[in-house]
Structure 1
Amino acid sequence: MHTLNFKPKAFLFDLNGTMINDMKYHTMAWRSVMNEDLGANLDFETVKKEMYGKNHEVLARVFGKGKFSDEEVKKLSFDKEKRYQEGYFPHLALIDGLADFLEKAKKRNIKMAIGSAAIPFNINFVIDGLKIRDYLEAIVSADDVTISKPDPETFLKAAAALQLSPDDCLVFEDTPKGVESALNAGMKSVVITTTHSIEEFEDYPNVLCFINDYHDLKLNTLF
């Protein structure tokens, strides 16, 4: 078994695609809004490539900056999140092995936080729906940062909230942009391969390992 030569004091989790495998439902919701409401006629894969950052950033990438007013962005974002929650709710579940992993970390006094580009509306939907709030000492959402990943602000704020230095934190991520954010924050990362292939992370020296889920025995060496 590959041994991870690192004993972090905190685990920082991205949310979507990292704690829950829900990115398909975000893409479906955005595609519905973009095609049915905005007449974009985009296929699933095209929409999927734009699924990172804050909602207003997604809209700006796809339709151009300044296309929508602040009120329009707010309404489109709400409609998208409502469709996402309606679509994903019947499938709401932690990624395999994560429930036990969280419990083990808590017993070992490892601090845990979420650092996500999701809005509080969606974060609360997940953590309260799955009853995992008690494991988390901090939550950094889209509303808490000025610049989205790959800027390091999200993870640096999470580390600060836990009163730990960045090099004591290990980031769990599923996207290259998220791993780049961890790198920019001076943090190591574990990649879960829910949404991207291993080859897409070859430029990031901070990746300790790749896992399919949290049953992976390599994770035992972190404790």
Structure 2
Amino acid sequence: MPLKAVLFDMDGVIVDTEPLHKKAYFKTFDELEIEVSADLYSSFTGASTKKVCETLINQFNLKHSHEDIAAIKRSHFKDYFYNDEEFDLIPGVKTLIEHYYHNGIKLILASSATMTTINMVFEKFDLEKYFGGKISGADLKESKPHPEVFQIAAKLAQEPTENCMVIEDSTNGILAAKRAGIFCAAYKSLHSLNQSYDLADIVVSDYNELFLDKISGYFS
């Protein structure tokens, strides 16, 4: 079956916002005058902001509500998002997006990020025109590794799953793609720590390897 649609994850695939979240959290910890160890911080990986804030309140006996702490963190994140000079698209991804777009491949974003963050990224890096749709996992009942986000993305592309490809960078995302019955390309970056790519159909560390002529053998 020919490739007709590519379903992109966002964080770790298009941008890497993790360093910004980390800076924003540590600035928040300073403001709250609490000392968060590296171990405690790493235990927050994959947890929602609400969960992190509730953990901090319990651990440090804080008088703030989780909404208050989340608001502080959000304002720092926004500041870094627009002003941090190191924050940029992942190398090669814009060229890959343009390559698919100009070859008539439908593009859908299927991310766990909130729609607010997705829109901020799309606006900052001028990506809106390339994508036929955007889905935020934050708006869905189930989250990755549940296949829901990719099932919806394929429907949005109006293509059968065998004509789609997912680009992911996380164990849960790859698992979600495979559970949805979709071919999955794993992007392995310097930032992808402790992730398993065993279930991916193809693993790349350079986006040039996902150009249509390089992957045509998988889709015919």
Deviation at 1:92, TM superposition (A): 3.5
Deviation at 1:74, TM superposition (A): 4.1
**Alignment deviations for residues 123-172 of structure 1 (CA, whole Å, 9 cap, x no partner):** 11111100010111111113421122111121112112112222322111
Match of 2:49 among 41, 52, 55: 55
Percent identity among equivalent residues?
22
TM-score, normalised via structure 1 length = 0.78
Matched, 1:130 2:131: no
- The answer to whether the 8 Å contact 1:13/1:114 transfers is yes
Computing the radius of gyration from Cα coordinates, the structure with the larger value is: 2
Q: Which amino acid aligns with 2:102?
A: K
Matches of 2:178 and 2:139, distance apart in 1: 20
Residue matched to 2:76: 83
Matched, 1:114 2:122: no
Matches of 1:103 and 1:56, distance apart in 2: 36
Match of 2:215 among 207, 212, 222: 222
- The answer to whether the 8 Å contact 1:193/1:211 transfers is yes
Matches of 1:60 and 1:219, distance apart in 2: 46
**Alignment deviations for residues 24-83 of structure 1 (CA, whole Å, 9 cap, x no partner):** 22233234445753846231x64345332643355567778xx99xx9444433433332
Deviation at 1:103, TM superposition (A): 1.2
Map residues 68-107 of structure 1 onto 2, 5 A cutoff: 72-89=65-82, 90-107=85-102
| Closer, same or farther: CA 129–218 of 1 in aligned 2, 3 Å | closer
- The answer to whether the 8 Å contact 1:34/1:40 transfers is yes
In structure 1, the gaps of 5 or more residues are 1-5
In structure 2, the gaps of 5 or more residues are none
TM-score, normalised via structure 2 length = 0.79
In terms of mean alpha carbon deviation, does 102-111 or 187-196 score higher? 187-196
